Amino acid sequence: MAGTSTLAQGVDFPLSSVVIEALKVPQGRGQKYRPLRYSEFWNIAGRAGRALRDRVGVVIYPSTGKAQDEEFRRYLEGEAVEVVSALLEVIKLLDERRPEYNLRLVRANPQISHFFQYLAHALKVGGFESASAEVEEILRSSLVFHGLQSADRELAERLVSWSRGFMEEFRENSFLGVADTTGLSLPSVGLLSASSPRVFKEPEFWAPENLFGDNLNPLMQVIEVLAEVPEMSLAPTDEAGGLNALRVAGVLRDWVSGKSLPEIAENWFSHMDKPLTFAGRYLFRDVAGYLPWGIGALQLIELSGSNPEETSAAFHVPAMSFYGVNSISALPLRMVGVPRAAAKSFGARAPRFTSFQEARAWVASQPVEAWANASDRNYSADTLKIVWETVGGSTA
């Protein structure tokens, strides 16, 4: 199985080992690559080791020589320094007698969210007794703990007792499974549950035609709830004024409905100096990066126990948000790299696929005329076919 850092976000793959192919990922428009974020690295590395089956999860980094060895070593050392520094600052703020594991702590110290996630995962998988002993053992043998111990032995011990306190407080928490599955911290999951309006429990609310229709109010409701979650970053960092829920909803709706990037830029960013550049960066970095994750988490909380037949279409909404299509049949085509301009048309006449290989083989068998008829835009058949062959056209 192969996947991107986005696919790995909050998904519980039953893997024994994972391979980290590179420490850089495609950046998209304007810049070819960017460094792999530490959170992305651990989202992938954290899949290694099947719960209750493997004592050790193996993370493999293929290296061709000493230069790559050193690159990986520097990467991990840099992460360790960052984690140690962040934990030190957080622990100094904690009241040792009455620690508060709450949303205020996560919001003021975003770096603590990943540590919360780890503790919740250990508690969910192992139970209180096993998790408490295991976490203490792991902490004491970790590079982070030794770094803390070198800086301040008392603070290092406080980290252990603080972690035990977290386990004690949340041992019976009903949201442990949700936090473990979504990759959000327990305080954030609690926030989503507490702040979501009652309408979120209705499968009809999550229907694609309701969220991505002419009326943006339903999607704005979702965005306004998600915007309060510390792990989400929905307000453009390089624009004054903070979150504009109408604009975020409009960008996502237009993306899913098939509008081109220039059209999205014209509709929502015409006031900017470089609307096309800003729209592309915001869409691919923030909107398509965070909203599918957040929507999936909300659905997991609000629709649990619902009739599967009633929620079937709703649970495709996160994938639609990521791939930019509004039909379920277009999703497998997008997953094998078919451009948005052709995916909906191809999906309308494609058979039901049982594997990515089968989907790629079907697309490869389509004649040039099919590509010419697939697009509702002024793209040539050759252009669309070349894009597909470049992005996902292998039938291997």
Q: How does pLDDT run across 123-150, given as a tens digit for each residue? A: 887 788 887 877 777 777 666 677 667 7
19: left (phi over 0), alpha (psi -120 to 50) or beta: beta
Structure tokens at 67: 């230069």
DSSP state of 283: I
Q: How does pLDDT run across 314-337, given as a tens digit for each residue? A: 999 999 999 999 999 999 999 888
Q: Is the pTM of this model over 0.85?
A: no
d(CA 232, CA 226): 7
Q: How does pLDDT run across 164-211, given as a tens digit for each residue? A: 888 888 888 888 888 877 878 888 888 899 999 999 999 999 999 999
Q: In Å, how far from its chain's centre is CA 324? A: 16
Residue reference for tokens 């902490």: 139
* Strand ranges inside the chain, DSSP E: 17-19, 24-26, 33-35, 58-60
> What is the average pLDDT across 349-367?
89
